[in-house]
């Protein structure tokens, strides 16, 4: 028996695309889908990661090359992997504060 997954969808057009329907149908037994209301990024925990990534990697920073941006993103994702408990705690705390 395979692992189950929670999929949080924020009603972006791509999440409703016809091309994805066969995937959802084939994985119905292992996916628990949560549909968020439109225009509610505060309810989607991953949005906090995207915001954090933008603050750390993009905001007020100059990257002279694509390789430099890619390296900054790699560093960011490596930090998340190495500090997963701390990152999850940060997301949970931000999520609770914004709820």
Domain co-membership, 32 together with 48: no
Whole-angstrom Cα distance, residue 27 to residue 46? 22
Confidence of residue 45 (pLDDT cuts 50, 70, 90): confident
Cβ–Cβ contacts within 10 Å for residue 80, how many? 15
Domain co-membership, 52 together with 15: no
Query: Do the beta carbons of residue 30 and residue 2 sit within 8 Å?
Result: yes
Domain co-membership, 83 together with 60: yes
Domain co-membership, 56 together with 86: yes
Whole-angstrom Cα distance, residue 24 to residue 32? 10
**pLDDT tens, position by position, 46-83:** 888 888 899 989 999 999 999 999 999 999 999 999 99
Output the pTM of the full model.
0.58
> What is the span of the domain harbouring residue 92?
42-98
């Amino acid at each position: 028996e395979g692992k189950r997954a929670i999929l949080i969808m924020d009603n972006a057009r791509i999440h409703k695309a016809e091309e994805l329907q066969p995937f959802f149908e084939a994985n119905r037994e292992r996916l628990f889908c949560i549909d968020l209301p439109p225009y509610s990024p505060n309810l989607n925990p991953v949005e906090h990661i995207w915001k954090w990534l933008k603050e750390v990697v993009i905001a007020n920073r100059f990257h002279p090359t694509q390789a430099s941006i890619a390296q900054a993103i790699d560093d960011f994702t490596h930090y998340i992997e190495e500090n997963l408990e701390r990152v999850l705690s940060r997301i949970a705390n931000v999520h609770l504060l914004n709820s």
